[in-house]
């Protein structure tokens, strides 16, 4: 990144004059989605400062407060404006912390996917030949098993092997690892496709003639030119990772109820929906859907604007 | 074509082999069969003697060979909980899961084809924009939330549908029953099928739409218009046929994916299928059952993927038969 300072003075100006910024200024939906996403991100980062209660601190929880409806309902308590869950935790605080957990897992898992996918995709595309066909064969096979299936089975086996208690302590790391490893082919295929196109261009030949090593050409010359497809998939992949995490937590294979993500919060509320306590399920559910929806819409918008050649198939 | 066939079958065999190794390592490391059989009161020497006798101290490869030999004959061990052969327990639950997949597939076909074609033909109409908008929302709602929403509206508030279970079933043979042949069973099937279909439906509508729009741009369709053929014939006879080719490939692969999502659907609706059984087996650490599920589901994935590839190879002569 030592090349950056030279372009720095003009970077802001270049950005303001870009097609990207112009389309963003014109598109109301994209602005709205970006706003919601940034808001969710800020709320997640500053959750400990914003939340009126600490849901992880059992001293602040009173079981007598359990299953209170939101404050606008007749039996609500003004102290808990979204009501409380079955353990008597303030739902608003728990949702803030849950969003934090869900986003952390989603973003970390996608960073792991991108890391693996970029290295494998670059290697497959640039080196080519046997390496390429072997890596892509593995990617094909891994994609043919759905991520959900792989994740459920791997986590289930680990849960059975570790025992529930130890597993719950490791849940976050396990979720990131499993979701991260299961989806690398998405990145690898897309990056390989753009590398194959970039490889033929003159600047790569020039770099090779100048005697740069393979690794330097791959990471410093080709990789920056494959960034727009990476950006497009990343948005959608984070949305998918959040859904995957929520689904796994719902099955009891993810975050424990003591440290809930949005998924485990919904799961814990599901038992009470039959007795009329809808808010424990519905409110975190709406938050989850809104979060995933804005990311999908942003992904659609990015795809239209950047229009990269994505792997089709 | 022959080389393609052999290559595909070889790949399927390699994948099954990897699955069997994984399954065996799970069986080898998870739970102790002796403890399940003997309890706590047996002395250490007796345990060791028993381990030797059962071959649990043999080298890994010997044990794996024995496992593979039995597995090929359909013997995947006895479920600790049901005290029955694990494979039988799984296969008894298979019809329930397949019913769900069948119901969902039917719903997907009935809805995605007309909606996809309509929005491809009239991309600017308001109804098309609604379809696309709803399908984006559909992609963003996790399947368990769809399930909860449907239960809340149709089972709790309106009381039209049962909230869980499979209802009455029709016994075909001792081990084979189906909910498709009783009114009660069909009634129970509706909500879970719609739930399962909701994952794939947006995907298919978008896929059919984009493929159809691409086909409608092609030369032969322009030629068909120039010939003065009626719109109906152009859309359905000429364009639709070529739209279906990629849709079938994706569709075949997604049937495998649906099996994965049956675990979620079955859990919410307490539908007594394989996925529900698997999660119960995990909670009970019933290793033979976990392994049997892994092998059965792995086989379903490998078989559907291989079949789809082969069918695609036969149907579409332009596919590169030598592999990518």
pLDDT in tens, B25-77: 887 777 666 665 666 666 777 777 776 766 666 777 777 787 787 777 777 77
Model confidence pLDDT, tens digit, residues A171-187: 888 889 999 888 888 88
Global pTM value: 0.83
Q: Which of B136, B152, B282 sits opposite A160 (nearest CB)?
A: B282
Which residues in chain A are closer than 8 Å to B151, comparing Cβ atoms?
273
Model confidence pLDDT, tens digit, residues B137-173: 888 888 888 888 888 888 877 877 777 777 666 776 6
Does A312 map to a domain? no
Q: What is the domain count for chain A?
A: 1
Confidence of residue B263 (pLDDT cuts 50, 70, 90): confident
CB atoms within 10 A of CB A276: 10
Is the CB of B136 less than 8 angstroms away from the CB of A266? Answer: no
Confidence of residue A108 (pLDDT cuts 50, 70, 90): very high
Instruction: Report the pLDDT averaged over residues A116-129.
Output: 87
Does A146 map to a domain? yes
Does A114 map to a domain? yes
Going from the C-alpha of A197 to that of each of A55, A118, A227, A311, the distances in angstroms are 51, 15, 14, 12
**Of residues B94, B267, B95, the one with CA closest to residue B164:** B267
The dihedral through the CA atoms of B256, A292, B109, B124 has a sign that is: negative
Model confidence pLDDT, tens digit, residues A212-255: 888 888 888 888 888 888 888 888 899 989 999 888 888 888 88
Does B269 map to a domain? yes
Does A76 map to a domain? no
Does B268 map to a domain? yes
pLDDT at A109: 92
Q: Which helix (H) or strand (E) holds B302?
A: helix B287-315
Instruction: Report the pLDDT averaged over residues B238-242.
Output: 81
pLDDT greater at residue B157 or residue A154: A154
Does A167 map to a domain? yes
Does B171 map to a domain? yes
Does A53 map to a domain? no
CATH classification of the domain holding B265: 1.10.3720.10
pLDDT at A311: 47
pLDDT at B321: 47
pLDDT at B54: 67
Model confidence pLDDT, tens digit, residues A192-203: 888 888 888 888
Going from the C-alpha of A104 to that of each of A38, A100, A245, B87, the distances in angstroms are 14, 6, 11, 40
CA distance A245 to A251: 10
Is the CB of B31 less than 8 angstroms away from the CB of A145? Answer: no
The alpha-carbon gap from B46 to the nearest alpha carbon of chain A, in Å, equals: 25
A→B contacts (Cβ < 8 Å), by residue, are 133, 136-137, 141, 144-146, 148-149, 152-153, 156-157, 159-161, 239, 243, 246-247, 250-252, 263, 266-267, 270, 273-274, 278, 281, 285, 288-289, 292-293, 296-297, 300
CA distance B319 to A19: 37
Average pLDDT, rounded, for chain A: 81
Sequence-distant (6+) residues with CB within 8 A of B57 are B51
ipTM score: 0.79
pLDDT at B173: 66
In the predicted structure, residue B22 carries a pLDDT above the cut 50: yes
pLDDT at B323: 43
Report yes or no: A263 and A251 within 8 Å, Cβ to Cβ.
no
The domain containing residue A224 runs over which residues? Answer: 105-255
Confidence of residue A1 (pLDDT cuts 50, 70, 90): very low
Which residues in chain A are closer than 8 Å to B148, comparing Cβ atoms?
266, 270, 273, 281, 285
Q: Which of A136, A274, A293 sits opposite B324 (nearest CB)?
A: A136
Is the CB of B253 less than 8 angstroms away from the CB of A297? Answer: no
Residues forming beta bridges with residue B211, ordered by sequence position: none
CATH classification of the domain holding A148: 1.10.3720.10
pLDDT at A312: 44
Token pair in block for residue A294: 């804005």
pLDDT at A116: 92
Model confidence pLDDT, tens digit, residues B306-320: 888 777 777 666 655
Does B140 map to a domain? yes
Does A117 map to a domain? yes
Does B170 map to a domain? yes
Model confidence pLDDT, tens digit, residues A66-82: 666 776 666 666 666 77
pLDDT at A110: 93
Token pair in block for residue B140: 């963003």
Is the CB of A270 less than 8 angstroms away from the CB of B148? Answer: yes
B→A contacts (Cβ < 8 Å), by residue, are 11, 15, 26, 29-31, 136-137, 139-145, 148-149, 151-152, 156, 163, 253, 256-257, 259-261, 263-264, 267-268, 278-279, 282, 285, 287, 290, 294, 297-298, 301, 305, 323-324
Q: What is the domain count for chain B?
A: 1
Instruction: Report the pLDDT averaged over residues A272-277.
Output: 74
The dihedral through the CA atoms of A49, A53, A56, A59 has a sign that is: positive
Does B219 map to a domain? yes
In the predicted structure, residue A32 carries a pLDDT above the cut 50: yes
The domain containing residue B204 runs over which residues? Answer: 95-279
CA distance A32 to A293: 12
pLDDT at B324: 40
Which residues in chain B are closer than 8 Å to A274, comparing Cβ atoms?
156, 163
Model confidence pLDDT, tens digit, residues B7-20: 888 888 888 888 88
Instruction: Report the pLDDT averaged over residues A291-298.
Output: 90
CA distance A104 to A178: 14
Model confidence pLDDT, tens digit, residues B96-121: 888 888 889 899 989 988 898 888 88
Does A59 map to a domain? no
CB atoms within 10 A of CB B129: 13
In the predicted structure, residue A24 carries a pLDDT above the cut 90: no
Q: Which of B145, B259, B267 sits opposite A251 (nearest CB)?
A: B267
Sequence-distant (6+) residues with CB within 8 A of B166 are B96, B179, B185, B188, B189, B271, B272
Which residues in chain A are closer than 8 Å to B267, comparing Cβ atoms?
250-251
Does B215 map to a domain? yes
CA distance B90 to B274: 6
pLDDT at A156: 84
pLDDT at B37: 61
């Amino acid at each position: 990144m030592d090349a950056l300072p030279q372009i720095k003075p003009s970077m802001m100006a270049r950005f303001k004059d870009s097609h990207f910024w112009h389309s963003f200024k014109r598109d109301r939906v994209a602005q709205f989605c970006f706003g919601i996403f940034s808001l969710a991100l800020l709320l997640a980062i500053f959750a400990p400062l914003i939340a009126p209660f600490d849901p992880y601190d059992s001293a602040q929880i009173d079981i007598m407060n359990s299953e209170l409806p939101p404050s606008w309902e007749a039996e609500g308590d003004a102290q808990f404006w979204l009501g409380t869950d079955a353990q008597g935790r303030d739902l608003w605080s728990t949702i803030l912390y849950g969003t934090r957990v869900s986003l952390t897992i989603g973003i970390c898992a996608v960073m792991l996917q991108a890391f693996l996918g970029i290295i494998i995709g670059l290697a497959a595309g640039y080196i080519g030949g046997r390496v390429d066909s072997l890596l892509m064969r593995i990617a094909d096979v891994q994609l043919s098993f759905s991520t959900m299936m792989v994740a459920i089975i791997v986590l289930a086996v680990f849960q059975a092997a570790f025992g529930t208690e130890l597993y719950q302590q490791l849940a976050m790391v396990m979720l990131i690892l499993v979701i991260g490893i299961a989806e690398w082919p998405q990145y690898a295929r897309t990056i390989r496709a753009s590398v194959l196109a970039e490889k033929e261009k003159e600047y790569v030949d020039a770099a090779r003639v100048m005697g740069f090593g393979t690794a330097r050409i791959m990471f410093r010359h080709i990789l920056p030119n494959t960034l727009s497809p990476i950006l497009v998939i990343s948005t959608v992949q984070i949305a998918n990772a959040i859904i995957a995490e929520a689904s796994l937590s719902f099955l009891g294979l993810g975050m424990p109820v003591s440290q809930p993500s949005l998924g485990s919060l919904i799961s814990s509320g599901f038992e009470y929906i039959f007795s009329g306590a809808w808010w424990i399920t519905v409110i975190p559910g709406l938050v989850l859907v809104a979060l995933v929806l804005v990311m999908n819409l942003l992904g659609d918008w990015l795809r239209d604007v950047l229009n990269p050649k994505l792997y089709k198939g | 074509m022959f080389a393609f066939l052999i290559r595909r079958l070889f790949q399927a065999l390699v994948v099954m082999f990897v699955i069997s190794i994984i399954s065996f390592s799970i069986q080898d490391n998870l739970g102790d069969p002796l403890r399940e059989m003997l309890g706590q009161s047996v002395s250490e020497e007796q345990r060791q003697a028993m381990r030797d006798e059962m071959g649990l101290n043999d080298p890994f490869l010997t044990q794996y060979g024995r496992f593979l030999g039995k597995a090929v004959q359909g013997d995947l061990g006895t479920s600790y909980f049901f005290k029955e052969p694990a494979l039988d327990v799984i296969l008894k639950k298979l019809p329930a899961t397949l019913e769900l997949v069948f119901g969902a597939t039917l719903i997907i076909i009935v809805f995605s084809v007309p909606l996809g074609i309509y929005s491809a033909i009239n991309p600017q109409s308001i109804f098309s924009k609604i379809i696309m908008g709803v399908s984006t929302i559909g992609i963003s709602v996790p399947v368990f939330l769809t399930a909860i929403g449907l239960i809340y509206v149709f089972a709790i508030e309106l009381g039209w549908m049962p909230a869980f279970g499979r209802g009455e079933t029709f016994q075909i043979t001792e081990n084979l029953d189906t909910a498709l042949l009783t009114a009660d069973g069909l009634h129970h099937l509706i909500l879970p099928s719609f739930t399962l279909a909701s994952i794939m439906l947006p995907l298919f509508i978008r896929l059919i739409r984009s493929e159809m729009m691409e086909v409608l741009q092609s030369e032969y369709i322009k030629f068909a218009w120039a010939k003065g053929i009626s719109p109906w014939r152009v859309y359905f006879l000429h364009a639709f046929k070529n739209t279906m080719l990629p849709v079938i490939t994706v569709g075949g692969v997604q049937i495998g994916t649906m099996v994965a999502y049956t675990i979620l659907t079955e859990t919410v609706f307490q539908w007594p299928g394989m996925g529900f059984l698997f999660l119960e087996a995990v909670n009970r650490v019933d290793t033979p059952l976990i392994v049997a599920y892994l092998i059965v589901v792995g086989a379903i994935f490998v078989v559907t993927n291989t079949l789809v590839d082969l069918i695609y190879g036969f149907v579409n002569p332009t596919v590169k038969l030598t592999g990518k």
